[in-house]
Protein backbone atom coordinates (compact mmCIF):
# COMPACT_ATOMS: atom_id res chain seq x y z
CA UNK A 1 0.00 0.00 0.00
CA UNK A 2 1.08 3.53 -0.79
CA UNK A 3 -1.81 5.48 0.74
CA UNK A 4 -4.22 4.78 3.59
CA UNK A 5 -7.03 6.67 5.29
CA UNK A 6 -7.84 7.12 8.98
CA UNK A 7 -11.06 8.29 10.61
CA UNK A 8 -12.92 8.33 13.93
CA UNK A 9 -16.57 7.39 14.11
CA UNK A 10 -19.37 7.12 16.67
CA UNK A 11 -18.95 8.50 20.17
CA UNK A 12 -15.73 10.34 20.90
CA UNK A 13 -13.28 9.01 23.48
CA UNK A 14 -10.18 10.50 25.13
CA UNK A 15 -7.14 9.04 23.40
CA UNK A 16 -8.52 9.10 19.86
CA UNK A 17 -6.07 11.88 18.96
CA UNK A 18 -3.20 9.80 20.31
CA UNK A 19 -4.35 6.92 18.10
CA UNK A 20 -4.57 9.13 14.99
CA UNK A 21 -1.08 10.42 15.77
CA UNK A 22 0.26 6.88 16.00
CA UNK A 23 -1.37 5.94 12.68
CA UNK A 24 0.20 8.92 10.89
CA UNK A 25 3.65 8.48 12.44
CA UNK A 26 3.66 4.71 11.85
CA UNK A 27 2.59 5.14 8.24
CA UNK A 28 5.33 7.74 7.72
CA UNK A 29 7.87 5.31 9.17
CA UNK A 30 6.83 2.83 6.45
CA UNK A 31 6.79 5.58 3.78
CA UNK A 32 3.04 5.38 3.33
CA UNK A 33 0.85 8.45 2.77
CA UNK A 34 -2.09 9.12 5.08
CA UNK A 35 -5.33 10.98 4.50
CA UNK A 36 -7.54 11.96 7.39
CA UNK A 37 -11.29 11.67 6.84
CA UNK A 38 -13.23 14.20 8.87
CA UNK A 39 -16.56 13.34 10.55
CA UNK A 40 -16.26 9.60 10.00
CA UNK A 41 -18.42 7.90 7.40
CA UNK A 42 -20.37 11.10 6.75
CA UNK A 43 -17.16 12.90 5.85
CA UNK A 44 -16.29 10.01 3.56
CA UNK A 45 -19.56 10.64 1.72
CA UNK A 46 -19.16 14.44 1.72
CA UNK A 47 -15.52 14.27 0.49
CA UNK A 48 -13.96 15.76 3.63
CA UNK A 49 -10.44 14.39 3.11
CA UNK A 50 -7.23 16.05 4.29
CA UNK A 51 -3.58 15.12 3.82
CA UNK A 52 -1.83 14.33 7.08
CA UNK A 53 1.89 14.76 7.59
CA UNK A 54 3.89 14.05 10.73
CA UNK A 55 3.78 17.73 11.64
CA UNK A 56 -0.03 17.77 11.43
CA UNK A 57 -0.31 15.45 14.42
CA UNK A 58 2.23 17.25 16.60
CA UNK A 59 0.97 18.47 19.98
CA UNK A 60 -2.33 16.55 19.93
CA UNK A 61 -1.51 13.50 22.05
CA UNK A 62 -2.65 15.30 25.21
CA UNK A 63 -5.99 16.51 23.82
CA UNK A 64 -9.35 14.87 24.40
CA UNK A 65 -11.96 14.45 21.68
CA UNK A 66 -10.79 13.95 18.09
CA UNK A 67 -9.38 16.63 15.82
CA UNK A 68 -10.78 14.70 12.82
CA UNK A 69 -14.24 15.12 14.39
CA UNK A 70 -16.80 12.32 14.49
CA UNK A 71 -20.39 11.69 13.49
CA UNK A 72 -23.04 9.02 13.17
CA UNK A 73 -24.07 8.72 9.53
CA UNK A 74 -27.53 7.50 8.55
CA UNK A 75 -26.64 8.07 4.91
CA UNK A 76 -23.82 5.52 5.08
CA UNK A 77 -26.42 2.92 6.07
CA UNK A 78 -27.84 3.16 2.54
CA UNK A 79 -26.30 1.59 -0.60
CA UNK A 80 -26.33 5.02 -2.26
CA UNK A 81 -24.38 6.57 0.59
CA UNK A 82 -21.76 3.84 0.54
CA UNK A 83 -21.42 4.23 -3.23
CA UNK A 84 -20.62 7.93 -2.78
CA UNK A 85 -18.08 7.05 -0.08
CA UNK A 86 -16.42 4.47 -2.33
CA UNK A 87 -16.16 6.92 -5.22
CA UNK A 88 -14.38 9.42 -2.96
CA UNK A 89 -12.05 6.72 -1.62
CA UNK A 90 -11.16 5.83 -5.21
CA UNK A 91 -10.73 9.47 -6.21
CA UNK A 92 -8.14 10.00 -3.48
CA UNK A 93 -6.30 6.75 -4.23
CA UNK A 94 -6.82 5.29 -0.77
CA UNK A 95 -6.06 1.56 -0.61
CA UNK A 96 -6.95 0.77 3.01
CA UNK A 97 -8.57 2.27 6.11
CA UNK A 98 -7.88 2.47 9.82
CA UNK A 99 -11.19 3.02 11.60
CA UNK A 100 -11.25 4.12 15.24
CA UNK A 101 -14.54 3.56 17.03
CA UNK A 102 -16.95 0.95 18.32
CA UNK A 103 -19.50 -1.60 17.11
CA UNK A 104 -21.16 0.71 14.59
CA UNK A 105 -17.79 1.68 13.14
CA UNK A 106 -16.78 -1.97 12.75
CA UNK A 107 -20.14 -2.89 11.21
CA UNK A 108 -19.81 -0.15 8.60
CA UNK A 109 -16.25 -1.16 7.73
CA UNK A 110 -17.26 -4.80 7.31
CA UNK A 111 -20.13 -3.96 4.97
CA UNK A 112 -17.90 -1.56 3.02
CA UNK A 113 -15.38 -4.35 2.42
CA UNK A 114 -18.06 -6.81 1.32
CA UNK A 115 -19.45 -4.38 -1.23
CA UNK A 116 -16.30 -2.67 -2.52
CA UNK A 117 -13.30 -4.63 -1.25
CA UNK A 118 -11.73 -1.76 0.72
CA UNK A 119 -9.66 -3.40 3.49
CA UNK A 120 -10.00 -2.02 7.01
CA UNK A 121 -8.42 -2.53 10.41
CA UNK A 122 -10.27 -1.30 13.49
CA UNK A 123 -8.97 0.21 16.72
CA UNK A 124 -11.39 0.12 19.68
CA UNK A 125 -12.28 3.67 20.69
CA UNK A 126 -15.13 3.89 23.21
CA UNK A 127 -15.32 4.86 26.87
CA UNK A 128 -17.82 2.03 27.52
CA UNK A 129 -15.12 -0.69 27.27
CA UNK A 130 -17.78 -3.02 25.87
CA UNK A 131 -15.95 -4.23 22.74
CA UNK A 132 -15.01 -7.88 22.62
CA UNK A 133 -11.42 -8.75 21.76
CA UNK A 134 -9.57 -6.35 24.05
CA UNK A 135 -9.24 -5.98 27.81
CA UNK A 136 -9.48 -2.20 27.52
CA UNK A 137 -10.73 0.25 24.92
CA UNK A 138 -9.31 3.68 24.17
CA UNK A 139 -10.92 6.22 26.50
CA UNK A 140 -12.13 3.85 29.22
CA UNK A 141 -9.38 4.57 31.74
CA UNK A 142 -9.83 8.33 31.36
CA UNK A 143 -13.61 8.06 31.74
CA UNK A 144 -13.23 6.02 34.94
CA UNK A 145 -10.82 8.57 36.39
CA UNK A 146 -13.10 11.46 35.40
CA UNK A 147 -16.03 9.75 37.12
CA UNK A 148 -13.87 8.99 40.13
CA UNK A 149 -12.85 12.64 40.48
CA UNK A 150 -16.54 13.62 40.56
CA UNK A 151 -17.38 10.84 43.02
CA UNK A 152 -14.65 12.02 45.39
CA UNK A 153 -16.08 15.53 45.33
CA UNK A 154 -19.62 14.28 45.91
CA UNK A 155 -18.39 12.24 48.90
CA UNK A 156 -17.40 15.52 50.57
CA UNK A 157 -20.89 17.01 50.38
CA UNK A 158 -22.53 13.65 51.14
CA UNK A 159 -20.45 13.46 54.33
CA UNK A 160 -21.22 17.05 55.27
CA UNK A 161 -25.01 16.47 55.08
CA UNK A 162 -25.21 12.76 56.00
CA UNK A 163 -26.83 12.01 52.66
CA UNK A 164 -27.12 9.08 50.29
CA UNK A 165 -26.16 9.91 46.70
CA UNK A 166 -27.18 7.91 43.64
CA UNK A 167 -24.58 8.79 40.99
CA UNK A 168 -25.23 7.82 37.37
CA UNK A 169 -22.22 7.11 35.16
CA UNK A 170 -22.15 6.39 31.43
CA UNK A 171 -22.05 2.91 29.98
CA UNK A 172 -25.16 2.49 27.84
CA UNK A 173 -25.55 -1.32 27.96
CA UNK A 174 -22.42 -2.04 29.98
CA UNK A 175 -21.36 -1.59 33.59
CA UNK A 176 -17.58 -1.41 33.20
CA UNK A 177 -17.30 2.27 34.18
CA UNK A 178 -19.76 1.83 37.06
CA UNK A 179 -17.98 -1.22 38.48
CA UNK A 180 -14.47 0.22 38.29
CA UNK A 181 -15.41 3.71 39.46
CA UNK A 182 -17.60 2.24 42.18
CA UNK A 183 -14.80 0.14 43.66
CA UNK A 184 -12.23 2.93 43.35
CA UNK A 185 -14.67 5.46 44.82
CA UNK A 186 -15.57 3.35 47.84
CA UNK A 187 -19.25 3.10 46.93
CA UNK A 188 -21.65 1.12 49.09
CA UNK A 189 -23.69 -0.09 46.16
CA UNK A 190 -23.28 -0.58 42.41
CA UNK A 191 -26.15 -1.21 39.96
CA UNK A 192 -25.18 -2.79 36.63
CA UNK A 193 -27.18 -3.82 33.54
CA UNK A 194 -25.33 -7.16 33.53
CA UNK A 195 -26.61 -8.16 37.00
CA UNK A 196 -30.21 -9.21 37.49
CA UNK A 197 -32.12 -8.20 40.64
CA UNK A 198 -29.28 -5.97 41.78
CA UNK A 199 -31.71 -3.45 43.25
CA UNK A 200 -33.14 -6.10 45.57
CA UNK A 201 -29.59 -6.98 46.60
CA UNK A 202 -28.94 -3.30 47.32
CA UNK A 203 -32.13 -3.08 49.37
CA UNK A 204 -31.17 -6.18 51.36
CA UNK A 205 -27.73 -4.75 51.98
CA UNK A 206 -29.07 -1.50 53.46
CA UNK A 207 -31.64 -3.40 55.53
CA UNK A 208 -29.04 -5.76 56.99
CA UNK A 209 -28.56 -5.20 60.74
CA UNK A 210 -24.99 -6.48 60.46
CA UNK A 211 -24.08 -3.81 57.91
CA UNK A 212 -21.51 -1.30 59.06
CA UNK A 213 -23.32 1.89 60.10
CA UNK A 214 -22.38 4.88 57.95
CA UNK A 215 -23.54 8.48 58.10
CA UNK A 216 -23.52 8.78 54.29
CA UNK A 217 -23.44 6.44 51.31
CA UNK A 218 -22.57 6.48 47.61
CA UNK A 219 -24.46 4.27 45.15
CA UNK A 220 -23.17 4.08 41.56
CA UNK A 221 -25.69 3.39 38.77
CA UNK A 222 -24.77 2.51 35.18
CA UNK A 223 -26.96 4.48 32.76
CA UNK A 224 -28.04 1.23 31.08
CA UNK A 225 -29.32 -0.32 34.32
CA UNK A 226 -32.23 -2.55 33.29
CA UNK A 227 -34.32 -2.21 36.45
CA UNK A 228 -35.01 1.47 35.85
CA UNK A 229 -33.48 4.88 35.32
CA UNK A 230 -31.46 6.43 38.12
CA UNK A 231 -34.19 8.83 39.26
CA UNK A 232 -36.75 6.01 39.29
CA UNK A 233 -34.43 3.80 41.31
CA UNK A 234 -33.77 6.63 43.74
CA UNK A 235 -37.52 7.17 44.24
CA UNK A 236 -37.94 3.45 44.81
CA UNK A 237 -35.15 3.48 47.36
CA UNK A 238 -36.65 6.52 49.11
CA UNK A 239 -39.96 4.67 49.39
CA UNK A 240 -38.19 1.68 50.93
CA UNK A 241 -36.07 3.85 53.26
CA UNK A 242 -38.15 7.01 53.91
CA UNK A 243 -35.83 8.16 56.68
CA UNK A 244 -32.90 8.70 54.28
CA UNK A 245 -31.87 12.06 52.84
CA UNK A 246 -31.23 11.20 49.20
CA UNK A 247 -29.87 13.06 46.17
CA UNK A 248 -29.22 12.09 42.52
CA UNK A 249 -26.32 13.25 40.34
CA UNK A 250 -26.01 12.38 36.64
CA UNK A 251 -22.43 12.87 35.46
CA UNK A 252 -23.30 12.66 31.76
CA UNK A 253 -20.97 13.65 28.93
CA UNK A 254 -18.32 15.17 31.17
CA UNK A 255 -16.95 11.60 31.22
CA UNK A 256 -16.18 11.76 27.49
CA UNK A 257 -13.97 14.82 27.70
CA UNK A 258 -10.68 15.81 29.25
CA UNK A 259 -7.03 14.97 28.75
CA UNK A 260 -6.43 11.25 28.28
CA UNK A 261 -4.57 9.44 31.03
CA UNK A 262 -1.12 7.98 30.47
CA UNK A 263 -2.69 4.53 30.16
CA UNK A 264 -5.03 5.69 27.39
CA UNK A 265 -2.25 7.51 25.52
CA UNK A 266 -0.04 4.42 25.58
CA UNK A 267 -2.88 2.06 24.63
CA UNK A 268 -3.97 4.34 21.78
CA UNK A 269 -0.41 4.63 20.48
CA UNK A 270 0.10 0.87 20.61
CA UNK A 271 -3.15 0.13 18.81
CA UNK A 272 -2.68 2.85 16.17
CA UNK A 273 0.73 1.45 15.27
CA UNK A 274 -0.59 -2.12 15.26
CA UNK A 275 -3.49 -1.17 12.98
CA UNK A 276 -1.12 0.26 10.37
CA UNK A 277 1.21 -2.73 10.51
CA UNK A 278 -1.68 -5.20 10.13
CA UNK A 279 -3.06 -3.24 7.19
CA UNK A 280 0.32 -3.15 5.46
CA UNK A 281 0.70 -6.88 6.10
CA UNK A 282 -2.38 -7.49 3.97
CA UNK A 283 -4.85 -8.15 6.81
CA UNK A 284 -8.42 -6.89 6.70
CA UNK A 285 -11.70 -7.02 8.63
CA UNK A 286 -9.79 -7.33 11.89
CA UNK A 287 -9.67 -5.17 14.99
CA UNK A 288 -6.60 -4.80 17.15
CA UNK A 289 -6.72 -5.05 20.92
CA UNK A 290 -4.71 -5.95 23.99
CA UNK A 291 -5.41 -9.07 26.06
CA UNK A 292 -3.20 -9.91 29.04
CA UNK A 293 -0.75 -7.19 27.94
CA UNK A 294 -0.26 -8.80 24.50
CA UNK A 295 -1.51 -7.68 21.08
CA UNK A 296 -4.71 -9.51 20.09
CA UNK A 297 -6.60 -9.72 16.79
CA UNK A 298 -10.25 -10.64 16.32
CA UNK A 299 -12.51 -10.33 13.31
CA UNK A 300 -15.05 -7.54 13.03
CA UNK A 301 -17.77 -10.19 13.13
CA UNK A 302 -16.46 -11.69 16.37
CA UNK A 303 -15.99 -8.29 18.00
CA UNK A 304 -19.54 -7.25 17.09
CA UNK A 305 -21.38 -10.47 17.91
CA UNK A 306 -19.51 -11.70 20.99
CA UNK A 307 -20.48 -10.45 24.42
CA UNK A 308 -17.83 -8.97 26.67
CA UNK A 309 -18.62 -9.70 30.30
CA UNK A 310 -17.69 -7.84 33.44
CA UNK A 311 -15.03 -9.31 35.70
CA UNK A 312 -16.88 -11.57 38.15
CA UNK A 313 -14.07 -11.28 40.69
CA UNK A 314 -14.37 -7.48 40.69
CA UNK A 315 -18.13 -7.74 41.19
CA UNK A 316 -17.60 -10.05 44.17
CA UNK A 317 -14.93 -7.70 45.51
CA UNK A 318 -17.33 -4.75 45.37
CA UNK A 319 -19.79 -6.64 47.59
CA UNK A 320 -17.10 -7.61 50.09
CA UNK A 321 -15.68 -4.10 50.36
CA UNK A 322 -19.07 -2.45 50.82
CA UNK A 323 -20.16 -4.72 53.70
Starting at the edge strand found earlier in the chain, the sheet holding 217-222 runs: 189-191, 217-222, 164-169, 246-250
3-state secondary structure of 179: helix
Residue 128 designated active-site:
yes
Q: How far apart are CA 60 and CA 19, in angstroms?
A: 10
Indicate the DSSP class of residue 125: B
Structural element, H or E, at residue 286: strand 286-291
Choose, from 46, 47, 128, 198, the residue flagged as catalytic: 128
The strand order across the sheet containing 49-52 reads 49-52, 33-37, 3-8, 97-101, 120-124, 286-291, 294-299
- Cα–Cα–Cα angle for 276, 126, 297, rounded to 5 degrees: 40
Catalytic residue numbers read 128
Amino acid sequence: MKKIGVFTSGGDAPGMNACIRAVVRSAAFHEVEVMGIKRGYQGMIDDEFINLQKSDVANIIQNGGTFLKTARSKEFMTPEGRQKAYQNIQKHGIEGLVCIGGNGTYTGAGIFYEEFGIPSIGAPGTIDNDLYGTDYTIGFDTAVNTALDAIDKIRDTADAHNRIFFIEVMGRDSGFIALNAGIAGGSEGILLPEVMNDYEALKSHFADDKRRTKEFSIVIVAEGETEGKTYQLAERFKADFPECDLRVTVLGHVQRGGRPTANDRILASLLGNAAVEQLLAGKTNLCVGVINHALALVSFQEAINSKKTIDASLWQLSKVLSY
